[in-house]
Amino acid sequence: MILVTGATGLVGSHLLLHLLQQEEGSVRAIYRNTQSINKTKQVFELYHALALFEQIQWQQADLLDLPALEKAFEGVTRVYHCAAMISFDPKDEHLMRKTNIEGTANIVNLCIAYQIAKLCHVSSIAALGESLHPSTPITEKTEWNPELYHSDYALSKFGGEMEVWRGTQEGLDVIIVNPGVIFGRGFYREGSSELLYKVHQGFPFYTSGTTAVVSVEDVVSCMIRLMRSNHKNERYILVSDNLDNRELLHFIAALLHKKPASFEIGRFGLALAWRLDAFISVLTRKKRSFTRAIAKASLSRFNYDTSKVEQTLSFQFISYRDFLTELSKSFK
């Protein structure tokens, strides 16, 4: 039996679909509330796979609820841990650290207690080290520098990964994947795919930074193949393209027949924007939509080296041009 956490999210729902399509074995998925299960169902509907959806064994459990998690682990041999909280709102810091670090520690501890054969942990490029110059590629070995500024999300994903590495010291076999910004069908009004929605609404600004992107199909395909392989206790960067933000926004705008973003917003404009957003959030009590962390990320220029996974699996990533073209058809 395979256990999938985060099964009502972008990665988890696509992973479930691929596991069932490839007949990897029976699958149990954890959820927190029944409405979220509909999001997974919609993904299966998009792929005309409702019969496969019916095969999922759903088990209610929160990452922070150990008794419920213990129930979910009964009879399980392999675990894919996709659940995490993704937020750039400073108000979410405490819960995000708890979910992504303590929640991952719970999964690791149960994997050890239930003698799970292998755990696949979904980390992020945010948990990798940073290179000081854009021309120096970031690899799986680039060291994390605690002296540099990191978003709360990055700190929580780094802490979660540390729990997984601790698990390897206690005898657990793991695979860690570090994807860039993931694009996939469904979930258009939340997460990374919301970018399409924003461009569709006529978002006029771009910044001078870069974005590392990857399709959800490639992410789940690498996860399944690495889990099947004899490789263990390694991390793998999953990125198909390192793109200028302008190029990415212009490409999406062309696909959606929208006016491309034409105003470059620089360091000063971004600093003003996140402070204004903080002020508005205090007045309206609404969630922050643009924070210091997002401002910093939108100016960063990084180049992620993906040769490790390409060589290990003889894998070729789908180019952003191809997966965004497909995605835009479904988005429309």
Ligand X SMILES: NC(=O)c1ccc[n+]([C@@H]2O[C@H](COP(=O)([O-])OP(=O)(O)OC[C@H]3O[C@@H](n4cnc5c(N)ncnc54)[C@H](OP(=O)(O)O)[C@@H]3O)[C@@H](O)[C@H]2O)c1
Distance CA 300, CA 295 (A): 9
250 touches 261 (CB < 8 A): yes
**Residue 212, H or E segment:** strand 210-215
Site string for ligand X, 178-217 (x = CB under 6 A): -x-xx----x---xx-------------------------
Nearer Cβ to ligand X (198/259): 198
Told to check if 303 binds ligand X by CB under 6 A, we report: no
Q: Which residues inside 153-182 make contact with ligand X, applying CB under 6 A?
A: 157, 179, 181-182
Nearer Cβ to ligand X (211/281): 211
Residues 6+ apart with CB under 8 A from 191: 9, 10, 86, 182
Told to check if 70 binds ligand X by CB under 6 A, we report: no
Q: Which residues inside 86-145 make contact with ligand X, applying CB under 6 A?
A: 86, 99, 103, 122, 124
Distance CA 110, CA 130 (A): 32
Maximal CA-CA distance, the chain = 55
Told to check if 42 binds ligand X by CB under 6 A, we report: no
Report the chain's terminal Cα–Cα distance, integer Å: 37
Nearer Cβ to ligand X (124/281): 124
Residues 6+ apart with CB under 8 A from 226: 120, 175, 177, 236, 309, 312, 313
Instruction: Tell me the window of 3-11, 223-231, 249-257, 320-328 that interacts with ligand X (CB under 6 A).
Output: 3-11
Told to check if 63 binds ligand X by CB under 6 A, we report: yes
Using CB under 6 A, list all residues that contact ligand X: 6-12, 32-33, 36, 62-64, 82-86, 99, 103, 122, 124, 157, 179, 181-182, 187, 191-192
